[in-house]
Structure 1
Amino acid sequence: MSAFIAALLVAAALPDYHPVGRVSGTIRLSGNDQMALLLQRWERGFRRFHPEVRFESWLKGTASGIYGLEMRTADLALMGRAMNPFEYYGTYERSWVFPVQVEVATGSFATPDKSPAYAVFVHRDNPVRKLTLQQLDGIFGAQRGGGWNGLSWDQSAARGPEQNIRTWGQLGATGAWADKTVHVYGPPLEGAGAISYFQSRVMHGADLWNEDLREYADPARMIADLSNDPYGIAYSSLDSAAAGVKALPLAEAAAGPYVRLTRETVADRSYPLSPPVYAVFNIDNEKSELAGVDPKLREFLRYVLSKQGQAEVAREGNYLPLTPAAAAEQMKKLDSTATPPELRVIQQASAIKVRMSIDEDPIVVRLAENLGYFEQEGIELERVGVEKITGEDYLIQEPLAKGQIDAAYCWFNHAIYGARHGFPVQAVMLFNEAPGMKVLVADRMKGRIASAADFAGRKVAAGAGYGMKSVLTRYLARKAGGGAYATVMMEKAGRQEAVVKGLKEGAVDVMTFQEPITSALLATGLATTLYDLNSGESTARALGARFPAQALLMSPEAIAKHPEVAQRLVNALVRAMRFVNSHSAEEIAARLPADYFAGKDRPAEVELIRALLPTYARGDYSISPEEARLAVEVNLSAAFDESDEGRWRGSGDASRVRPAELYTNRFVTQAMNAIALSRGK
């Protein structure tokens, strides 16, 4: 029996299409250009039943499909893969309703670029004859706290390192093969926030891979290398097969059955790695209200899922028809009386209460509240003062590690101190890429102090010895090769007046302050700027890299257990940061709640916002390895004072501090991907 006849027989088992009613109008489509011929067949077939329907297509690739839905330039997006979690959020941001994803065909048997099934290849001499998906997970995956199941983070997908498979003996190979390391080959990894079909089926939606995975952009090159590596394993489409390798039968579980990759086993979906292709549509209207399924879309998709529609899939020759069971399951999503599963996710999810410690009163948090970003992410923010838990406002690490608070808006250096004391915390987002300070030199000393190397023996006012003004001033002096200097303390009350008095009387030579004091001192003409640490660019010139200052900290355990909380927090705060980055001080002040200015001089506060705008991070709000290393170097080399806070910061085990473990950019990357997709950037 020919492959075409076999595919037609699959389609023939489906119910006939019977129109529910007459529909008219234009259906606009965007997305996967590889489905263009199939779409043309569907259009012709559907118009036999509904001649008053017209079609407009803009097929530029799968990613463009979601963009069309986001911008309301398309009614239906054709997708060669499932939606990534972040791709749901563009529609959700405008209406709190997620788009609906419907399988419309099975991917191809082995046609490149047409969602082919995945074969798992090993060297032809390899004694292993079959594998389960769990074994593939052990080979390609790694320890994880869970995985993405569509939009939901599934903690039941968590597994430990004991399930890693790193030798062929763990797969039943004996003799000389038993202790040989499994060499893992694969295509390039998806970008952050993207989950491939292989990850979904094999790794339960996780994004943590075997640390030794070798990535190949060229499948032919990958299989050629595998054919020369007896201990290798790779996954790719069957069209990559070559002499020297063999494709293994796969099973869902150890009990079997173990199924070979053939056109028939992909068509009936008995082969475990047979991806579908999709159509996606919105269920909100132009007013961003829940509206249900558009009648003409419902009729078109009912046709696509019918005997006639799936027969066109068979005739196209590459994609394969849905099985009757799969088509029936997808048809349920078109029932206007049923709540789509994507919407049920939101309806069932109550607001998440997030307990956050907040340093001072940052405008970013206030904007996220006042502009509705927290509410739109389903977050109910509860401010918690850690001093009520620990007795001191600087001891935030233990409450984070013990789950007494969920997050902290504070300086990144707290992650360093936490690591030293065995309370690991991570930054999931950066707010300020500069410490917001300036190192000033008394005007009378300009000719004698040209750099921090000249601080030796001078009178320096840089605040308390446990604070970052002091730490950074001493770091600049050490970096420049300068010697010790005399510390001058200014009265806390009337500090600005005391500094001005000290400048006039020659009691201070160098001073490090933040706004608004720096601007006031410079306005007197008694001091000039030596080092500007008030913007990312100027800080990088002074220190060698931007300096991670204020950040959002969470415990790694909380992140692993509840990544959806971290993602929603970051989503809201990224939007607030983008507002800060794109508005003036006056515009920002206008969107802050009235109580923010209670008891304050509003014009002075607006000027303070203006002065601090350069400190805010731009771009994607991530932390780079260079920035993390700089922060660690600055803090671990610091000589803190003998205050309780100074002793805390300077004690503990410095060997526990590993810069790469102090932050994760996973959530800001996903948030920025969603925004870029929704804005077409």
Structure 2
Amino acid sequence: MRVAVWFLVVLLAFGFAQKRVVLGVGGKTAIVYLPLTVVERLGYFKEEGLDVVSQDLQAGSRALQALIGGSVEVVMGYYDHTIQMQAQGRDIVAFVQVGRYPAIVLGVRSDLADQVRSIPDLKGRRVGVTAPGSSTHFFLNYLLVKNGLKPTDVAVVGVSVGAQAVAAVQNRQVEAISNVEPAITLLEERGLIKVLADTRSTKGTREVLGGEYPAAVLYTTRAWLERNPDTAQRLVNAMVRGLRWMQGKSPEEIAAVLPEEYFLGDRALYLKVLKNSLESFSPTGRFSDTAPLRPLTVLSAFDPNVARAQIDLKRTYTNAFVDQVPKR
């Protein structure tokens, strides 16, 4: 009898054991990746039987390299990397959409605003991005090309996100910056930058990029997705539940579940950032059939590999998991 009871306990333990997933994120404190922290803090991953180990790699390009190198299994990063990788012969798939606008801003230091009045005036300037090869860099390249310059007409400097990005402007390491919240609002509130291009809202994204633009997503290799469909489904269940929870919540309610260090010493300002950012998040986690065309257009403008490739957008994302999320 004791042996039978012990065997049952072992079976139950294995049945309820949490599946470990190593997830890389391109700057965890950035507002664009906020739903990941919300889901973690609300315990939704654990309720799905997942032990998600997040590695904050501070930039999208570093998170992508970690995936390719095998040190992480899944990435919370920007969708455009899936297109870039397909052009290089790598099969990377986004499987839940978190952000429907990039929420990236290009700004110039306020003390140079009389010299840099528009994007063409950036020629010869030092511009900060989260890291070379990241989506903030892609955004900058696209705007340069769109305005008659070449990506090589500026010097790109990696400044990470959050406090590091703010410090890079304050210390005059860069003359302009392409970055995300909360750094941008902190810089604006302190009078340190003048905005040249802004995709934090529906209106701004439409003006700069033409419309909805899939941004923050979970992506991985097709091989991992095919080997781990149950784990992928549980990740998506948790993420979509988090996105649903955020709908209709006030900035104060969302901030209440976040770590204190996310506020960068100014909770009131962070609440303002949250208020201005909420419409950038997807309410459903689902990709539209037309929005992925915009990242393809953007990348094709300056990346010759993408411009030459026959990109099959249908292989860069899937709604199969989002469509199976319980309607609770």
> Aligning the two structures, in what range does the TM-score lie when normalised by the shorter sequence?
0.7 to 0.9
What residue in structure 2 maps to residue 585 of structure 1?
251
Question: 1:428 touches 1:665 (CA, 8 Å); kept in 2?
Answer: yes
CA displacement at 1:429 relative to structure 2: 0.8
* Aligned AA (2:47): Q
CA displacement at 1:491 relative to structure 2: 9.3
Query: Aligned runs of 1:528-539 on 2, under 5 Å?
Result: 528-539=194-205
CA displacement at 1:522 relative to structure 2: 3.2
CA displacement at 1:425 relative to structure 2: 1.4
**SS of equivalent residue, structure 1 residue 356:** strand
For residues 383 and 429 of structure 1, the distance between their equivalents in structure 2, rounded to whole angstroms, comes to 17
* Aligned AA (1:601): G
What residue in structure 2 maps to residue 621 of structure 1?
285
Aligned CA distance change for structure 1 residues 354 and 471 (closer, same or farther; 3 Å): closer
Q: Name the larger-Rg structure.
A: 1
Q: Deviations over 1:357-411 (max 9, x none)?
A: 2333243223222222112222222335789xxxx654134356xxx64322122
Aligned CA distance change for structure 1 residues 654 and 383 (closer, same or farther; 3 Å): farther
For residues 225 and 64 of structure 2, the distance between their equivalents in structure 1, rounded to whole angstroms, comes to 22
Asked if 1:368 corresponds to 2:35, the answer is no
Q: Which runs of 5+ in 2 are unaligned?
A: 1-11
Q: Which runs of 5+ in 1 are unaligned?
A: 1-344, 503-507, 640-649
Which of 213, 220, 224 is matched with 1:558 structurally?
224
* Aligned AA (2:253): E
Which of 433, 436, 440 is matched with 2:100 structurally?
433
What residue in structure 2 maps to residue 669 of structure 1?
323
Query: Aligned runs of 1:173-184 on 2, under 5 Å?
Result: none
What residue in structure 2 maps to residue 495 of structure 1?
168
* Aligned AA (1:669): D
Asked if 1:476 corresponds to 2:143, the answer is yes
Query: Aligned runs of 1:120-131 on 2, under 5 Å?
Result: none
- 4+ residue runs of structure 1 moved beyond 6 angstroms? 650-653
What residue in structure 2 maps to residue 463 of structure 1?
128
Q: Deviations over 1:4-27 (max 9, x none)?
A: xxxxxxxxxxxxxxxxxxxxxxxx
What residue in structure 2 maps to residue 313 of structure 1?
none
Query: Aligned runs of 1:15-414 on 2, under 5 Å?
Result: 348=15, 350-361=17-28, 362-383=33-54, 393-399=63-69, 405-414=72-81
- Percent sequence identity is 21
Which of 657, 664, 668 is matched with 2:311 structurally?
657
Aligned CA distance change for structure 1 residues 569 and 609 (closer, same or farther; 3 Å): farther
* Aligned AA (1:637): A
Aligned CA distance change for structure 1 residues 511 and 558 (closer, same or farther; 3 Å): closer
CA displacement at 1:571 relative to structure 2: 0.8
For residues 617 and 444 of structure 1, the distance between their equivalents in structure 2, rounded to whole angstroms, comes to 34
For residues 652 and 550 of structure 1, the distance between their equivalents in structure 2, rounded to whole angstroms, comes to 20
What residue in structure 1 maps to residue 3 of structure 2?
none
For residues 652 and 477 of structure 1, the distance between their equivalents in structure 2, rounded to whole angstroms, comes to 17
CA displacement at 1:651 relative to structure 2: 6.4
What residue in structure 2 maps to residue 632 of structure 1?
296
Using CA pairs below 8 Å that are at least 6 residues apart, which structure has the higher relative contact order?
A: 2
Q: Where is the helix percentage greater, Structure 1 or Structure 2? A: 2
Q: Could you state the TM-score of these two structures normalised by the residue count of structure 1?
A: 0.38
**SS of equivalent residue, structure 2 residue 287:** coil
For residues 598 and 610 of structure 1, the distance between their equivalents in structure 2, rounded to whole angstroms, comes to 11
For residues 248 and 114 of structure 2, the distance between their equivalents in structure 1, rounded to whole angstroms, comes to 39
CA RMSD of aligned residues (A): 3.9
CA displacement at 1:551 relative to structure 2: 0.8
CA displacement at 1:420 relative to structure 2: 3.1
For residues 80 and 296 of structure 2, the distance between their equivalents in structure 1, rounded to whole angstroms, comes to 8
Q: Deviations over 1:481-501 (max 9, x none)?
A: x245852567957322245x9
Aligned CA distance change for structure 1 residues 536 and 669 (closer, same or farther; 3 Å): farther
What residue in structure 1 maps to residue 82 of structure 2?
415
Aligned CA distance change for structure 1 residues 568 and 544 (closer, same or farther; 3 Å): same
For residues 606 and 457 of structure 1, the distance between their equivalents in structure 2, rounded to whole angstroms, comes to 29
Question: 2:36 touches 2:239 (CA, 8 Å); kept in 1?
Answer: yes
Question: 1:357 touches 1:405 (CA, 8 Å); kept in 2?
Answer: yes
Q: Could you state the TM-score of these two structures normalised by the residue count of structure 2?
A: 0.73
Q: Deviations over 1:239-274 (max 9, x none)?
A: xxxxxxxxxxxxxxxxxxxxxxxxxxxxxxxxxxxx
For residues 609 and 591 of structure 1, the distance between their equivalents in structure 2, rounded to whole angstroms, comes to 16
Aligned CA distance change for structure 1 residues 606 and 579 (closer, same or farther; 3 Å): farther
Aligned CA distance change for structure 1 residues 360 and 527 (closer, same or farther; 3 Å): closer
**SS of equivalent residue, structure 1 residue 473:** helix
Question: 1:419 touches 1:657 (CA, 8 Å); kept in 2?
Answer: yes
CA displacement at 1:599 relative to structure 2: 10
For residues 203 and 323 of structure 2, the distance between their equivalents in structure 1, rounded to whole angstroms, comes to 22
* Aligned AA (1:367): V
Question: 1:434 touches 1:546 (CA, 8 Å); kept in 2?
Answer: yes
CA displacement at 1:457 relative to structure 2: 6.8
* Aligned AA (2:48): E
**SS of equivalent residue, structure 2 residue 302:** coil
For residues 370 and 483 of structure 1, the distance between their equivalents in structure 2, rounded to whole angstroms, comes to 44
**SS of equivalent residue, structure 1 residue 666:** coil
Question: 1:418 touches 1:424 (CA, 8 Å); kept in 2?
Answer: yes
What residue in structure 2 maps to residue 251 of structure 1?
none
What residue in structure 1 maps to residue 215 of structure 2?
549
For residues 357 and 632 of structure 1, the distance between their equivalents in structure 2, rounded to whole angstroms, comes to 24
Question: 1:440 touches 1:512 (CA, 8 Å); kept in 2?
Answer: yes
